[in-house]
Each structure stands twice: as structure tokens, then as C-alpha cells.
Amino acid sequence: MKDYAEQIAAFETKRAGLVAANEAIMEKAAEEGATLDAEQKETFDGNEADVKEIDDHLKRLKSLQASAAEKAVPVNGENSKNGSASRDGKIIVKGQEKLEPGIEFARLVKALGMAQGDMSRAVRIANDRYGEDSNAAGTLKRLDLRGSNKLQFEGFEKNNVVAGSTISGTAMADLVLDEGGAFSDFANFLRPQTVLGKFGQGNIPALRRVPFRTALGVQTLAGGGAWVGEGKPKPLTAFNVDKTFLEPLKCANIVVLTEELLAGASYSAETLVRDEMTNALVALIDDSFIDPTNAGSANIEPASIAYGAISIAASGSGDADDIRLDIRNLLQVFVNNNMDGQTPVLVMRTGTALGASFSINALGQAEFPNISMSGGNIMNIPVVTSQAVPSGVVVAVLPSEIYYADDGGFMVDVSREASLQMLDNPTNDTVTPTATSMVSLWQTNSVGFRCERILNWARRRSNAAVYLTGAAWGGATNT
């Protein structure tokens, strides 16, 4: 027997059709200015009788439906098919659970690591562990169908061989080839963790996005004008605009995990894989972007947006009045340079924001109620917090005056056959390789994961950022 709701819907549809048919009969008679003929009367009366029977039947169905609802018991499954099966005592497999951001990607990484780079085997592992309908399994299947396990693998050094492939035909493909599933899951998890990723989110204005290797104007000197009296010479003015390009620069890290850890089915192991790959890149990107001491390196690393910018010493002991004065001094730089029509953002250390949030007035009320250690706003100015900001530094930036180029994705490669120089400051390179102590991933039952991201930034105008030094807002040491 059909579900009561389905029966009710079917009879209501049938009733509506009968009523519409009778309305059509009456409309036709009206257009002809005549009464119904014998055939029309028979049809009309028959339809009307059927409508009455349907109405009575609907009352009975709705009564039974109400009674059934009172007797209903929960069933397993997420649809009627599974529900019916559960009534018969069959075991119902639960649907894919909702995971934290980045966990889908961590599962994919674990499957690849356990499969030793063999894409087909990784598919089978993902199917067994996470289900055929999981994003990790689906993504691996698509890459396997493309033959992605045959794409080249670059970057790991094996012994002292200059660059090239280190695992024949089984290395993982460039993950940026896939724009959905587990890869976008990781990208969406990674980006908001960085200071860069917070721009354009919520009330934080976005940076000025530009493409790589496109000529960009950087104003270094503004022109001016003057009032001129009758018959007087008009003064000349000068301005200067330099041309710059944002080259695609690469930030990367390598994480080495043991095969025993990757084989662990626990959720904590997946979280560790995700967090290890994320935290290293977050710290690198944030330090480079915001630290005023970062001068950058030509064709390697961009300089900080605050490098070479105007710096201002913080005022007093950091009470509420000092905080207001500090902010006023930062913003005055923008005003003095005719950049006051834009929305500034303050980037500060977590402890600095925390100190400001504890500033209390004489009535015991918070002086700045909208700021916390996770950000917010102060004096209606958006705040971004990060431990990458040096102690005592507060950077004021105009996001629309910062050029930002990003390829929008990231790349991950995996290998268990490479040999690595296990240092955070490796000395080997592809130009002048040197004999160095190397560790074999194969010999130590380990798997190496390399994560890369391509991006760059630059100030559009020299005064697009200004920073405070020695800030101890709230009177606390901002560590």
C-alpha cells in the first residue's frame, strides 16, 4: 500500500482535474449562450458525484494518516527505501557524516600515503575506509581515470641527483587540477587561517586582486595644483608612477609522516595530517605578509606590506586614551597623504587585541566592546589578529591599496621513495648539489607530502600601510 501522503496527493490531483473539467463545460456553455445538452449534463453530474466520493475518501485517508502518526516509531536510514529495510530488520549504513573543514583532504592524503602513490590502490583504500560516496574516494577515482598517477613528480631530491622524478610513474598529480571535493575542502580550510585569507571575509575589505605578470602602476609621487591669479603664470607639477609586475612566487613545505600514523583509522590521525600541512604554510605566509622586518628576496619572497613603511612609537602606558591616540596617529598618515576616503584595517597580535578588550572605564564598562582576541572592530575599524605580527606592532593597512595575485589553488605531491635533507634550512639545490646527509623515506617507512601555493603581493602606493611599535594596549605584555 502506498504511503498515506502519496495516496492523499494522488486523489487531490484527481479531484482538481474533475473540477477543472466541469468548469470547462460551463465556460463553453456560457460562450455559446446555451444550457447543457444531455451529454454535457451526464459528464458534469458524473464528475460532481466523483468529486463527492473523493472528498469522502480523503477524509478517511487523513484520519488514518493522523492515527498512523501517533503510532509511528523511528526507523534507521535517510530515505524511505532505507526506512522500509530497517522495519524488516536489515542493517542500514549511515550516510556520509559531516566533517570539519580539511578532514576530507586529510583522508585523501592518508589514502595516497598508504597506497605508496599508487592511485588505483588509493581508490580501493578510500572506498574501504570512508565509503564509495565520500569526497576522498570520488576525487581519487576521477584522478585515476585521468591517468594522473603518470604525471611527473618534482621537487624531492633523491641522494644527490639533480631534480627530476623520484618515484617512477606513481607520484600524485597536481591537485589543483580538481576544483571540487576534498581539494576545495582543504583550500577553503587553509585560506581563512591566514591573515591574507581574512581579507574579503565578513566586514574586512578585500585586497585589490590582480593577475600575475601584468603591468601595474605604483605611484611614488603625487601631483598638485594651485590657484592662479589673472595674468599670472601657472605653476608646473610633477608626479611619478613606476611600473611593476607581480611574478608568481612559491611558498612550500614538506611534511614527513610515518606509515604507521597514516594507517591509523582514528579521526585524530586525520586531523593531525590536516593541521601539520596547514600550520606550516599559515605561519610562513603570515610572517612574510605582515612582519615589517621582512625585506623579501628578489624572485623568491615578496617583502612585507609594512616593510619600509612609516613607523610610529606607541603612546604612554596603553590605557584607553593612549589606544585612541595611537589609532588616531596611524590613520592621520592616510589623511596626510590624501588617502582618507578608504576603509582601513588594523592587523595586530592576539595579545594586543586582548589587552584592548580588557580596557574598562570608570563605570566598569568595556571601552572597546567590539574587539576580542579573535578580531572584531575597534573605533569602527575592522581588526584582524594573528600571532605572526611581532610583539608590540600594530599595522594599519588600506586593503584597496595592496595588489594581490593568487592562482587560487595549491599543489600537493606525495612520495615514499625520496631521500630528504631533514632540515628546516636545507642546503641542497638543483644548481649546485652538494653531498649531504640524507634520510630515505622508504628505509624509514615514512611518507613525504609537499604542499605549495603560488601568490604575491605589493603596495600600490608607498603609504598604503603604516605601523605602530611598542604597543602595550591594556598595559599587558603582548606575547
Domain interval for residue 19: 4-66
Residue 315 lies in a domain: no
Q: What percentage of the chain carries pLDDT values higher than 90? A: 25
pLDDT reported for residue 193:
67
Within a domain: residue 10? yes
The sign of the torsion formed by the CA atoms of 411, 414, 415, 420 equals positive
Look at 76-85, 144-153, 460-469 and tell me which has the smallest mean pLDDT. 144-153
Residue indicated by cell numbers 595586530 = 348
Evaluate whether residue 54 is within a structural domain: yes
Predicted confidence at residue 160, as pLDDT, reads 32
Query: Residue 176 pLDDT more than 60?
Result: no
CB within 8 Å of 476: residues ≥ 6 apart: 318, 351, 354, 355, 358
Q: What is the pTM of this model?
A: 0.57
Segment 249-280, tens digit of pLDDT: 888 878 787 777 666 655 566 666 666 666 66
**Residues whose CB falls within 8 Å of the CB of residue 358, separated by 6 or more in sequence, listed in order:** 366, 474, 476
**Is residue 134 assigned to a domain?**
no
CA 137, 139, 143, 146 torsion-angle sign: positive
Please check whether residue 32 lies inside any domain of the structure: yes
In a domain, 41, yes or no: yes
Q: How confident is the model at residue 84 (pLDDT cuts 50, 70, 90)?
A: low
- pLDDT greater at residue 422 or residue 305: 305
Mean pLDDT of the chain: 76
Mean pLDDT in residue range 436-464: 85
pLDDT of residue 460: 87
Q: Domain total for the chain?
A: 1
- Give 437's pLDDT tier (boundaries 50, 70, 90): confident
The rounded distance, in Å, linking the Cα atoms of 309 and 459 is: 10
Q: Which three cell numbers stand for residue 57?
A: 475518501
Interatomic CA distance for residues 281 and 303, integer angstroms: 17
Within a domain: 16: yes
In a domain, 27, yes or no: yes
447 near 415, Cβ under 8 Å? yes
**Residue 109, phi then psi, degrees to nearest 5:** -65, -45
Of the ranges 15-19, 80-84, 213-217, the best mean pLDDT one: 15-19
Higher per-residue pLDDT: 458 or 224: 458
In this prediction, residue 289 has a pLDDT band, given cuts at 50, 70 and 90, of very high
For the residues of 311-348, what is the DSSP string, one character each? Answer: EEEPPTT--HHHHHHHHHHHHHHHHHTT-TTS--EEEE
The per-residue pLDDT for 213 is 74
Contact of 443 with 241, CB cutoff 8 Å:
no
To which H or E segment does residue 425 belong? none
From 58-62, 70-74, 352-356, the region with the lowest mean pLDDT: 70-74
Mark out the alpha helices in 131-220 (DSSP H runs): 135-146, 181-190, 195-198
The arithmetic mean of pLDDT across residues 320-329, rounded, is 94
Q: Which residues contact 139 (CB under 8 A, 6 or more apart)?
A: 108, 178, 180, 181, 182, 183
Range in 34-48, 111-125, 173-187 the model is least confident about: 173-187
Does residue 41 surpass a pLDDT of 60? Answer: yes
The answer to whether residue 168 scores a pLDDT higher than 50 is no
User: What residues pair up with 347 in beta bridges, in sequence order?
Assistant: 384, 395
Tens digits of per-residue pLDDT, 361-411?
Answer: 888 899 999 999 889 999 999 999 988 899 999 999 999 999 999 876 667
